[in-house]
A and B are shown apart, each in its own frame.
Chain A
Amino acid sequence: MEKQKSIVSLLKAKQDTILQEWEKEQFSAGKFRADLISPDELKQQMRDFWDSLLKALGQEERVDLSDEGWKPVRSLLTELSKSRAKLGFTPSETALFVFSLKKPIFQLIQDTFQNDPARLQKELWDLNTLLDSLGLFTTETYIRSKEEIIRRQQEEMLELSTPVVKIWEQIVAVPLIGTLDSARTQTVMENLLQEIVAASATVAIIDITGVPTVDTLVAQHLIKTVSAARLMGAECIISGIRPQIAQTMIHLGVSFQDITTKATLAEAIKYGLSQVGYRISKME
Chain B
Amino acid sequence: MEQIPILKLGKFLLVTIQVDMHDQLALRLQDELTNRIVKENAKGVLIDISALEIVDSFIGRTLANIAAMARILDAETVVVGMQPAVAITMVELGLSLPGVRTALNVERGMEILSSLVQVDSDAPPPA
Q: Contact residues of A with B, CB < 8 Å? A: 189-190, 193-194, 196-197, 200-202, 224, 227-234
- How many residues of chain B are within 8 Å of chain A by beta carbon? 18
Does B88 lie within 8 Å of A200, measured CB to CB? no
Counting from the closest, the 10 A-B pairs by CB-CB distance are: A193-B84, A233-B103, A228-B87, A233-B102, A231-B87, A233-B104, A227-B91, A224-B91, A228-B91, A232-B82
Question: How many A-B Cβ pairs are below 8 Å?
Answer: 54
The interface of chain B, by Cβ under 8 A from chain A, is 80, 82-84, 86-88, 90-92, 96-97, 102-105, 108-109
A231 touches B104 (CB 8 A): no
Question: Please, could you name 23 A-B residue pairs with CB atoms under 8 Å apart, sorted by A?
Answer: A190-B84, A193-B84, A193-B87, A194-B84, A201-B104, A224-B88, A224-B92, A228-B87, A230-B96, A230-B102, A231-B86, A231-B90, A231-B91, A231-B97, A231-B102, A232-B82, A232-B83, A232-B104, A233-B80, A233-B82, A233-B103, A233-B109, A234-B104
Distance between A73 CB and nearest chain B CB, rounded to angstroms:
46
New A-B contacts (8) at CB < 8 Å, excluding given A228-B88, A231-B86: A193-B88, A196-B104, A201-B104, A231-B87, A231-B90, A232-B104, A233-B104, A233-B109
Residues of B within 8 A of A201 (CB): 104
A190 to B91, CA, bound (A): 13
Q: How far is the CB of A63 from chain B (nearest CB, A)?
A: 51
The minimal Cβ–Cβ distance linking B90 to chain A, given in whole angstroms, is 6
Give the residue name and chain of the A residue nearest to B92 (CB): A224
When chains A and B are docked, how far (Å) is the Cα of A271 from the Cα of B97?
25
* Contact in complex: B108, A202 (CB < 8 Å): yes
Assembled-state Cα–Cα distance A233/B108 (Å):
9
